[in-house]
Amino acid sequence: MIVCHKDTAVVILSYNGTKWHDLFLPKIIEEAQTGYEVIVADNASTDNTLQYVQENFPSVKTLRIDVNHGFANGYYEALKQIKAKYYILLSSDFEVTEEWFPPLHAAMEHNEMLAACQPKIRYWRNRECFEYAGAGGGFMDTFGYLFCRGRIFFDIEKDLGQYDDNIEVFWASGGCFMVRADLYHKVGGLDTDFYAHMEEVDLCWRLKNAGYRIGYVAQSLVYHVGGSVISYGSPQKLYYNFRNNIILLIKNEKGTKLLWLFPFRLILDGVAGLRLLFTGKFKETFIILKAHFHVYREFGKWWKRRRENKKLHIRRNEEGIYSRSIVWDYFLLRKRKFTDLGWKPKKLE
């Protein structure tokens, strides 16, 4: 067990991440003086990552996970071994900036109902733009589709200061977010069966169903490389996106809504599969079918998780759910930016 002397543990899950540690760890360590400790959790790397960190960054604490069962399991195993008031889950391909930590810490200290929060996330390769998976905070539409402030489907905005306010969101990016350790463990942590993608959304939804808030803190800025483990647009990513999005709904959506939304989403996914089929993308169509058959085969398991989650429900917090269809607004009404939606999320107090 690693017991942190400061109240926050920045936990970096690493898999063959030597090049990222060489680039980004020095600044993370430098900024640690603002109030956190740095821990690298090696997720069964096949190179010399752990040895490299131990030899080159002696102030960093390390732990090793013997078998790599994915992103969610890596953090699940690591955080069981770390005692702190707050965790910051930080992927190894993130660059932090000066004073990135204090605004996050201040937000959490100020509001005890704030369970988790994320910083502003820009793209490391194009530093003026928001990053794909997190950007200016995560949201969900009424049909369960996910999007971000600063990124809706394929359109990524430049950061012109348009999202410099602190607001309540529906989910915080798993690449970099701060969470209360006691609440993380109380709701069960990251679901290891998600493997990768949307596991942070599932965690945030459980926290919100227990009545807590999720925040976006614009005064904190980080940069993300992205796609360093599972690349954007890969078959593996497509599979987990389709599979895990349906699982999210089974585990967390209200029963009265799930009754009609579950079959409706299966139909919409079927339409997406047919569209890919007719354009000659046979492999992608097969991947969607594979994702659906997993859901059908394991439905009993996910329903059992749903029943377990309901025991923690106190008062649902539905801030961050867009009341319309983001698919309709984006593709048919051509609303390509968050500001086009005419929707103002609730500010963090």
Q: What is the pLDDT of residues 112-153, one digit of tens each?
A: 999 999 999 999 999 999 999 899 999 999 999 999 999 999
CA 342 from centroid of its chain's CA atoms: 25
Tokens of 294: 């997993």
Confidence tier at 314 by pLDDT (50, 70, 90): confident
- pLDDT exceeds 80 at position 170: yes
Distance of alpha carbon 9 from alpha carbon 13, whole angstroms: 12
Task: Write the burial class of residue 296 (CB in 10 Å: 0-12 exposed, 13-18 middle, 19+ buried).
Answer: exposed
* The pLDDT value given to residue 118: 98
Q: Which amino acid is at 295?
A: V
Task: Decide: helix, strand or coil at residue 260.
Answer: helix
The pTM assigned to this predicted structure is: 0.96
Fold exhibited by the domain 7-92: Spore Coat Polysaccharide Biosynthesis Protein SpsA; Chain A (3.90.550)
* The pLDDT value given to residue 265: 95
Half-sphere exposure of residue 66: CA atoms within 13 angstroms, side-chain side? 0
CB 111 within 8 A of CB 348: yes
